[in-house]
Amino acid sequence: MGNTIFSKIINKEIPADIVYESDTILAFKDIRPQAPVHALIIPKIEIPKVSDIKGKEHAQLLGEMIDAANKIARDTGISEDGFRLVFNCGANGGQDVYHLHMHLLGGRQMKWPPG
């Protein structure tokens, strides 16, 4: 098992504001929200980062993560106006927690480039 803070959230060792849960996926509100809606969607298995994903092995899981994001977007009322999904990967990508996570950001106009 991994030892990131997200592993502890999966194991319910530390609290989180959970917005979606299935056998394979957990999603919870980001503790430092960067938009009115900011959730993190994570697999329950340990994948440290995007560059560790193997397409054939993890395709189903990634599809479930997108399904979860779409459900949360609908539930929070941001689906119509649009939203952003972000994976930060590694040091230059700005990744802080080495347990794969997809940011769902919405409820305001996003800027491009993200900086």
Cite the active site residues.
101
* Position 94 contacts ligand AMP (CB under 6 A): yes
* Position 88 contacts ligand AMP (CB under 6 A): yes
Closest CB to ligand AMP among residues 9, 73:
9
Max Cα–Cα distance, the chain, nearest Å:
38
Query: Is 72 in contact with 19 (CB distance < 8 Å)?
Result: yes
* Position 32 contacts ligand AMP (CB under 6 A): yes
Cα–Cα dist 102/50, whole Å: 10
Select from 44, 45, 10, 31 the least CA-distant residue to 103.
31
Stretch that binds ligand AMP, among 51-59, 60-68, 72-80, 88-96 (CB under 6 A): 88-96
Residues that bind ligand AMP (CB under 6 A): 5, 16, 28, 30-32, 40, 88, 94-97
